[in-house]
Every structure is written in structure tokens, then in C-alpha cells.
């Protein structure tokens, strides 16, 4: 995955129609072009207005459980969010599956249903839009966990997942203390 400066990331968000709002949190997800199967090879960056706060590895893609066995979950395909999209007020604080503090999807997201059963999360086919509870969450239900996971497995059927629980808890703590909903931009890895 490329390394980006703050200005490169924030300028790319503006290029796709995003807005940097003073005093409001923005999560930028960057999807790796390498896209290793079932690996947490993406990154999330947290900004407050235009100021960098922290970053964490994670995934913007569904894992092997969703890609290879989506029918067992009653799905027509694994949800793959469309990249190069910006969502104002995308997330609000809540719970993931009632068990983990998380950022809950608050507005419709654009997504694909990857139903070809292979090991690649692909942006192909019909684009859907809706609230499908594509939350931003961590990789352990233990609220004290300091685990950093490298494999996605069943942690994402379309959710945006932070791999580092220590950094994830910091994101939740900071966003809970802020009165605004959280903006979200999902970018495809790009050449600045």
C-alpha cells in the first residue's frame, strides 16, 4: 500500500466531492490495489477537520467467509462497497451486533454484490444503494482486547473493519465525545 501525505488524502476526498468540516471527524478508508485474499491489507485514517489524528490497518473488503460462502448467510453475494465515494454523516455511535461499541451505518452506501464465489472482492455488476448495516467495527468482542489481526475471515461481510483493537478503541472514544456524526470517504489506492 502506498504512503500518503495528509494533503494528498484530503485533496483526493475533495476531488470525489467530499467536504472537510472543521470540528467533525472524517474516516478515510483506502482500499489496497493488491487486495490479498482474506487479508487486512487496507488502511483507515481518522481526521478531525483537516487535522490527522491516527491510522490503523484494516479491511474495506469482505473476507473469505462472505466471498466463498455468502449463500449460507442468506445473501445474494458478498457486499463490496464502491470506492471513490464520500458520505456525509455516514456513521453514528452504536453497537455492532449488540455486542461491540461501533460506528453504525447511518446513510445509504453504494455497493456491489460479489456472487462469483472466487477469492477476489470485486467492484463489478449492478450498483446498489442502501443501509445494509455496513458498520465500522473492530476484530474482537472483548472490550479490553489489544489484538491486531491480519486475517479477515468472518469479520467482514461488507463492514469496514479496523484490525488494531487499541487504535480502534481510541477511534470510538474520540468519536463518542464529539457531538457530530462521522463522515466517511472510501478511496481506491491512487497515484498522487
The contacts of residue 192 (CB under 8 Å, 6+ apart) are 2, 4, 5, 8, 12
Domains of the chain: which residue ranges?
Answer: 6-188
The pTM (predicted TM-score) of the whole model is 0.96
Average pLDDT, rounded, for the chain:
96
Q: Summarize pLDDT for 35-82 with one digit per residue, the tens.
A: 999 999 999 999 999 999 999 999 999 999 999 999 888 889 999 999
Amino acid at each position: 500500500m502506498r504512503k500518503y501525505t495528509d494533503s494528498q488524502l484530503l485533496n483526493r476526498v475533495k476531488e470525489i466531492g467530499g467536504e472537510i468540516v472543521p470540528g467533525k471527524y472524517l474516516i478515510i478508508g483506502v482500499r489496497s490495489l493488491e487486495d490479498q485474499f482474506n487479508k487486512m491489507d487496507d488502511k483507515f485514517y481518522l481526521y478531525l477537520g483537516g487535522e490527522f489524528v491516527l491510522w490503523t490497518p484494516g479491511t474495506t473488503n469482505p473476507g473469505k467467509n462472505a466471498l466463498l460462502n455468502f449463500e449460507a448467510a442468506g445473501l445474494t453475494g458478498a457486499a463490496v462497497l464502491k470506492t471513490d465515494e464520500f458520505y456525509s454523516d455516514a456513521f453514528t455511535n452504536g453497537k455492532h451486533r449488540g455486542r461491540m461499541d461501533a460506528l453504525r451505518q447511518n446513510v445509504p452506501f453504494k455497493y456491489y454484490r460479489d456472487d462469483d464465489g472466487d477469492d477476489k472482492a470485486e467492484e463489478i455488476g449492478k450498483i446498489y444503494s442502501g443501509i445494509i448495516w455496513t458498520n465500522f467495527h473492530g476484530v474482537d468482542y472483548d472490550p479490553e482486547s489489544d489484538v491486531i489481526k491480519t486475517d479477515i475471515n468472518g469479520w467482514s461481510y461488507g463492514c469496514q473493519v479496523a484490525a488494531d483493537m487499541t487504535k480502534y478503541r481510541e477511534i470510538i472514544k474520540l468519536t463518542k465525545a464529539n457531538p457530530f456524526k462521522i463522515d466517511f470517504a472510501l478511496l481506491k489506492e491512487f497515484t498522487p
